[in-house]
């Protein structure tokens, strides 16, 4: 009977359209489907869905990929949010209104097709997905795809420390003492909580974060029988103090979530056509410096030049991920250095090689799991 009930479950993972959200959500979905036999559907915004399945005959529609189903919702920016063209002040209301409406339609459609959703799992920045779940009487769970320490910092920021942190946002050396966490200087905090300019291009992220924590608070204040559950892409032995510092949630550590197979797909950005893995194989073990600043940072010309000069002066071979949209418009590097740059690459595959420097053993242990 237990196995039968397990197979009747249908998890709907609602994912923010960013690479750092999609990858861990896909790994979680794959594990759920593979290890438990449950039905799992992933829903991210149409623009991201199109890039993931750009060879599909109709990339706007439902896609069956392995044992997972992908059904996109619309966030109102089906061609992607255009920086410099679209109004950032309209992003949040459009994202929430259109996303809420289209996700609700997906839930209704799945139920009508005999595939009723029994649990909605949503990544952070997607608190409106919990509203959809509540309206359809479906349990929901937040999946926090960043370190638990980051969650704890955000939690304390929104629960008594916002004014202190904001007051010292301009002092990179100021030290903060948050409950049950080690001391942090301003420069060590997540950059979103040090944004004081409402016109900053990333101020909308802080608003979405605030709404996410308010949604968790609403569950606590409603005095429901259980605390809100939060899934963490981490494990308790790694972040014991961070997990213990937040008392108003039920934390469930499920990490590290990494691909079950070597080729997992799901990339929003095209990997470099050059064979960087073959290039890596020619380098001495522990000799290569890997540099990447994620998908949201935009580097100024002088920052890129300083980084390039530092890498060249180190005398070490390097692999630097520099996408075209990862720099200010029109920025071109002078003085060469292009041999060590790629517009995108598979971080997991690269770190699994034997010739990367910096915390090599720890990174490999996190990726491959501990015995």
Q: Measured between alpha carbons, how far is 359 from 365 in angstroms, rounded to an integer?
A: 10
Q: Measured between alpha carbons, how far is 323 from 88 in angstroms, rounded to an integer?
A: 22
Report the alpha-carbon angle 102-104-110, nearest 5.
105
Q: Which of these is catalytic: 7, 10, 21, 49?
A: 21
First to last CA, the chain: 33
Q: Measured between alpha carbons, how far is 70 from 43 in angstroms, rounded to an integer?
A: 6
- Residue 21 falls in the annotated catalytic set: yes
Expressed in percent and rounded to 5, the helix, strand and coil fractions of the chain are 40, 15, 45
Pairing of strands 119-123, 250-253: unpaired
Q: Identify the three-state secondary structure at position 253.
A: strand
**Distance from CA of residue 311 to its chain's centroid?**
28
DSSP 8-class letter at 119: E
142 forms beta bridges with: 122, 230
Residues recognised as catalytic: 21
């Amino acid at each position: 009977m237990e196995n039968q009930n397990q197979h009747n479950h249908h998890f709907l993972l609602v994912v923010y359209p960013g690479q750092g959200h999609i990858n861990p959500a896909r790994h979680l979905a794959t594990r759920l489907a593979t290890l438990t036999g449950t039905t799992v559907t992933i829903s991210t915004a149409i623009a991201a869905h199109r890039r993931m399945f750009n060879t599909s005959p109709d990339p706007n529609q439902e896609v069956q990929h392995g044992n997972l189903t992908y059904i996109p919702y619309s966030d109102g920016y089906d061609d992607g949010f255009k920086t410099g063209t679209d109004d950032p002040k309209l992003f949040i209301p459009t994202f929430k209104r259109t996303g809420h409406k289209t996700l609700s339609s997906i839930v209704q459609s799945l139920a009508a097709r005999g595939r009723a959703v029994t649990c909605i799992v949503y990544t952070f920045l997607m608190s409106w997905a919990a509203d959809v779940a509540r309206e359809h009487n479906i349990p929901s769970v937040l999946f926090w795809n960043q370190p638990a320490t980051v969650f704890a910092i955000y939690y304390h920021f929104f629960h008594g420390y916002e004014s202190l942190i904001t007051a010292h946002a301009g002092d990179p050396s100021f030290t903060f003492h948050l409950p049950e966490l080690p001391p942090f200087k301003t420069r060590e905090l997540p950059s979103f909580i040090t944004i004081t300019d409402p016109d900053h291009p990333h101020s909308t992220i802080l608003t979405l974060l605030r709404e996410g924590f308010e949604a968790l608070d609403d569950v606590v204040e409603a005095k429901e029988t259980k605390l809100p559950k939060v899934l963490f892409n981490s494990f308790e032995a790694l972040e014991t103090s961070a997990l213990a510092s937040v008392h108003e949630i039920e934390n469930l550590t499920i990490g590290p979530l990494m691909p079950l197979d070597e080729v997992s797909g799901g990339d929003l950005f095209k990997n470099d056509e050059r064979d960087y893995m073959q290039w890596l194989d020619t380098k001495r073990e522990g000799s290569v410096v890997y540099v990447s600043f994620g998908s949201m940072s935009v580097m100024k010309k002088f920052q890129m030049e300083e980084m390039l000069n530092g890498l060249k002066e180190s005398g070490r071979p390097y692999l630097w991920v520099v996408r075209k949209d990862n720099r200010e418009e029109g920025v071109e590097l002078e003085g060469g250095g292009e041999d060590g740059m790629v517009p995108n690459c598979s971080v997991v595959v690269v770190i699994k090689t034997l010739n990367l420097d910096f915390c090599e053993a720890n990174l490999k242990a996190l990726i491959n799991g501990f015995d």
